[in-house]
Amino acid sequence: MSRLHVETVGQGPDLVLLHGWGMHGGVWSPVVPELTQAFRLHIVDLPGLGLSEPCEPYTLDALVDRIAEAVPASAIVCGWSLGGLVAMQWAKRLPQQVRQLVLVGATPRFVSGEDWDNGIEPEVFRQFAAQVGADYRGTLSRFLALQAHGGDAAKDTIRQLRERFFERPGGSPETLQAGLDLLLQSDLRQEVAQLNTPTLVLHGDYDKLAPVAAAQWMAEQGPQGVRVEICKGASHAPFLSHPSWFVGQLKDGLGD
């Protein structure tokens, strides 16, 4: 079994933080000090990223298996972007472990299709996949810029994402490609509609990677009792651009 890096800090209800594609757990660091006042955080580096060893095969189920073994038997799970897909799959597979679900900049399906207009064009991810082997740093920088595009604090958010990214080892081209494949191929709409887990959806209205329409879909089709909160002026990473709003939503909406 590959080694998974999990940093545990704070006191309170257990809250697992799952980052997005190409990043690592350090991306949460701006909101960690305040969150540790209310929660016991378990900050995960997804397999193959940051300080965690890669795993094979690189599927949502395999990622869930690695993480589920490394964190408490009952916890709140907060997933951002790709981490949101992992969190949804986790809640479907092991509902007894996922006490509450928080989805940040998340969507059950990232790419548009014949019956899904709430995503982005598949070609966007295919272009990143084609470039990541030849120009790793440049490709990651362009992806980080896309995540912040259009928001009120776009320049500062991009700067924070880039600073956090290079604090720990980056993923191999193989791991990054596998993660992009998950973004391209995953469709959890049916699974999300069947969840019984209390769910909080936090989304930016300028999100270009997971359009706000996906959050609105989850409000209508998602778990019973799902609550959706939209951050005005935020893009794909509201916890960086609007940290006080993000922390307030978690403190007010989560707990025992």
**Residue 165 located in a structural domain:** yes
Please name the residue that has the structure tokens 């928001």: 151
Q: How, if at all, do strands 199-204 and 227-231 pair? A: parallel
As given in the structure block, the two tokens for residue 30 are 């701006």
**Residue 34 located in a structural domain:** yes
Most confidently modeled range among 60-74, 134-148, 155-169: 60-74
- Which residue range is the domain that position 205 belongs to? 6-253
pLDDT above 90 (res 168): no
Question: Is residue 57 reached through a cis peptide bond, with omega within 30 degrees of 0 on the bond before it?
Answer: yes
**Residue 139 located in a structural domain:** yes
Give the rounded distance of the alpha carbon of 148 from its chain centre.
14
Q: Would you please indicate which residues are annotated as catalytic (active-site) residues?
A: 81, 207, 236
Q: Could you read off the pLDDT of 119-160 as tens digits, one per residue?
A: 988 887 787 777 766 676 777 676 666 655 555 555 676 676
Strands (E), 90-139: 98-104
**pTM here?**
0.91
pLDDT above 90 (res 198): yes
Please name the residue that has the structure tokens 């509450």: 100
Buried b (16+ CB within 10 A) or exposed e, 126-145: eebbeebeeebeebbeebbe
Higher pLDDT, 172 or 75: 75
As given in the structure block, the two tokens for residue 203 are 């989304």
Beta bridge partners of 41: 9, 15
What is the mean pLDDT of the segment spanning 49-75? 96
**Residue 87 located in a structural domain:** yes
175 in Cβ contact with 58 (< 8 Å) = yes
Which residue positions form the known binding site?
21, 81-82, 143-147, 236
Which residue positions form the known binding site for substrate?
21, 81-82, 143-147, 236
CATH number of the domain bearing residue 213: 3.40.50.1820
**Residue 1 located in a structural domain:** no
**Residue 54 located in a structural domain:** yes
Beta bridge partners of 204: 231
104 in Cβ contact with 181 (< 8 Å) = no
Give the rounded distance of the alpha carbon of 245 from its chain centre.
17
Which amino acid is residue 16, in one-letter code?
V
Rounded to the nearest 10°, the torsion over CA 197, 212, 231, 161 is 90
**Residue 164 located in a structural domain:** yes
Please name the residue that has the structure tokens 């981490």: 83
Number of domains in the chain: 1
What is the mean pLDDT of the segment spanning 237-242? 89
As given in the structure block, the two tokens for residue 85 are 């897909």
70: buried, middle or exposed (CB in 10 Å: 19+, 13-18, 0-12)? middle
**Residue 154 located in a structural domain:** yes
